[in-house]
């Protein structure tokens, strides 16, 4: 769209380490979860004190913070909701992401000044729903992942300009419509709609004929069974211009349960891609290294989801695992006096060929010719997690840069 100025890069932040990575590597906004009411049930989520500190840090760096409140609450939980919302608002968050009408109306009543973003869990697929939600008080709608570019453009054309549109552009895809899956709850008693999904869609399955118990037949010609429900990951890094032209205000990266390295690398890739687009929207062409960055994190095979229509090859039939080609070996604390001071993360050796990924920039090759510990003793290998080390070099890399190694 001609009047779209700057698409927002929205990154996941499952805990403080991941939030720091998102902020450092270029997110415009982050979405986080509290200890209740979020779609990721994990001890990593933020307590109120942690949330307040996280918001302060993010705001100091010009980054907005959205709190997920997108489960389907029970009666007992609804009794606790008003106080929770007031406490969360007092932490300074910029918006609530909600999926339940009761939560939405409660938020309007008890925290009326807080922005409301309607979660993809709502299943918004048409302009009438989006428009009605806007009239009810929604500032933003996160559209269902099953929409094409044509669908999104039509919604954009028929809703007020003041209603923001957010879409997922990268990360895991759910086999069920807008994440409304009952499979996990049915099979293992873990409710996906309450943030506890066990991801049974990633498991291998066989076919068994009822009169031949314990004789299993692969549904697909593979000795490991068939991953018939296992969706490929979404990756739209090559289509930034099309996303913006469709009128999408916010580009959402999935992955609050992913590692800090994943958050840093993928956020950095989309930051650079969006900045490249903004420099010359009419002639956008993604640099090869940016696309390659999305393949240097743990991921399943990629697809473009439903953006170009129903995917013809959107499932992973071979296995349910991930492609992983790089390991993080260290992060940079500072560079001074001819030394790169680092914190070790995974084992590496003197003489290893590494890459250094810099925040909001690209990577450079780097050879760790020598490694020393904090007592100035040379080391042939760095093999103790979180150990403080240094590497002699006159190159300067920003704090937070990531050293990684091809597996």
At 213 the pLDDT is 77
What DSSP character marks residue 281? G
Measure CA of the first residue to CA of the last residue in the chain; give whole Å: 42
**pLDDT-wise least confident of 10-14, 47-51, 183-187:** 183-187
- Taking each helix axis from N to C end, the angle separating 48-60 and 75-90, rounded to the nearest 10 degrees, works out to 40
pLDDT interval class at 176 (50, 70, 90):
low
pLDDT at 175 over 90: no
Determine the pLDDT at residue 320: 53
Q: Tell me what the mean pLDDT of segment 10-29 comes to.
A: 97
Report DSSP state, residue 270: H
C-alpha to C-alpha distance for 88 and 102, rounded to whole angstroms: 17
Q: What is the pLDDT of residues 116-133, one digit of tens each?
A: 999 999 999 999 999 999
Euclidean distance between CA atoms 31 and 11, whole angstroms = 7
pLDDT confidence of residue 1: 42
User: 51 or 71: which carries more pLDDT confidence?
Assistant: 51
Mean pLDDT value of segment 93-106: 96
* Among 85-89, 112-116, 229-233, the least confident range: 229-233
Per the prediction, the chain carries an average pLDDT of 89
Which of these ranges, 27-36, 71-80, 153-162, has the smallest mean pLDDT? 71-80
Q: Would you state the structure tokens that stand for residue 66, as one six-digit string? A: 């959205």
Quickly state the pLDDT bin for 223 (edges 50, 70, 90): very low
303: pLDDT strictly greater than 80: yes
Task: Summarize the confidence of residues 11-27 as an average pLDDT.
Answer: 97
What pLDDT, on a 0 to 100 scale, did the predictor assign at position 44?
79
String of DSSP letters for 55-75: HHHHHHTT-EEEEEE-S---H
**Mean pLDDT value across residues 50-62:** 98
Q: Higher-confidence residue: 298 or 372?
A: 372
The model's confidence at residue 37, banded by pLDDT at 50, 70 and 90, is confident
User: CA–CA distance from 380 to each of 156, 343, 349, 350 (Å)?
Assistant: 58, 16, 6, 5
Q: What's the mean pLDDT in 28-51?
A: 84
- Domains of the chain in sequence order: 8-173+231-303 (3.20.20.70), 177-218 (no CATH), 326-406 (2.40.30.10)
Q: Which residue has the tokens 């009419």?
A: 282
Express as a percent the part of the chain with pLDDT over 70. Answer: 83
Residues linked to residue 252 through DSSP beta bridges, in sequence order: 10, 168
C-alpha dist (Å) from residue 148 to 153, 228, 341:
9, 23, 47
Instruction: Name the band, by pLDDT with cuts 50, 70 and 90, for residue 316.
Output: low
Chain centre to alpha carbon of residue 306:
18
- Say if residue 329's pLDDT is above 60: yes
């Amino acid at each position: 769209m001609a009047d779209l100025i700057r698409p927002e890069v929205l990154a996941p932040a499952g805990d403080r380490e991941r939030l720091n990575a998102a902020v450092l590597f270029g997110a415009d906004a982050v979405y986080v979860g509290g200890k209740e009411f979020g779609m990721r049930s994990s001890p990593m989520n933020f307590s109120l004190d942690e949330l307040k500190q996280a918001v302060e840090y993010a705001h100091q760096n010009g980054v907005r913070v959205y709190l997920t409140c997108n489960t389907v609450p029970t009666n007992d939980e609804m009794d606790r909701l008003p106080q929770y919302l007031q406490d969360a608002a007092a932490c300074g968050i910029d918006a609530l992401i909600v999926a339940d009408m009761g939560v939405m109306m409660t938020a309007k009543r008890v925290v009326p000044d807080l922005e409301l973003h309607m979660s993809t869990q709502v299943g918004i697929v048409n302009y009438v729903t989006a428009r009605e939600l806007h009239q009810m008080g929604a500032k933003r709608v996160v559209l269902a992942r099953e929409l094409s570019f044509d669908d999104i453009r039509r919604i954009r054309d028929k809703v007020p300009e003041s209603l923001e549109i957010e879409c997922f552009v990268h990360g895991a895809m759910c086999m069920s419509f807008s994440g409304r899956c009952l499979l996990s709850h049915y099979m293992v008693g873990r409710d996906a709609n309450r943030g506890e999904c066990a991801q049974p869609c990633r498991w291998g399955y066989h076919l068994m004929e009822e009169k031949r118990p314990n004789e299993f037949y692969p549904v697909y010609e593979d000795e490991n069974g068939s991953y018939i429900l296992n969706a490929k990951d979404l990756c739209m890094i090559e289509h930034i211009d099309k996303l913006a032209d469709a009128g999408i205000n916010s580009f959402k990266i999935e992955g609050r349960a992913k590692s800090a390295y994943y958050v840093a690398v993928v956020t950095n890739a989309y930051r650079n891609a969006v900045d490249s687009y903004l420099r010359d929207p009419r002639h956008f062409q993604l640099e090869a290294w940016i696309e390659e960055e999305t393949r240097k994190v743990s991921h399943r095979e990629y697809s473009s989801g439903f953006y170009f229509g129903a995917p013809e090859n959107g499932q992973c039939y071979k296995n349910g695992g991930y492609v992983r080609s790089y390991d993080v070996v260290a992060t940079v604390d500072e560079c001074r006096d001819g030394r790169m001071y680092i914190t070790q993360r995974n084992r590496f050796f003197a003489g290893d060929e590494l890459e250094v990924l810099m925040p909001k920039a690209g990577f450079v090759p780097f050879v760790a010719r020598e490694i020393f510990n904090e007592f100035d003793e040379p080391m042939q290998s760095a093999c103790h997690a979180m150990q403080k080390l240094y590497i002699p070099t006159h190159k300067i890399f920003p704090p937070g840069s990531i050293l990684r190694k091809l597996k």
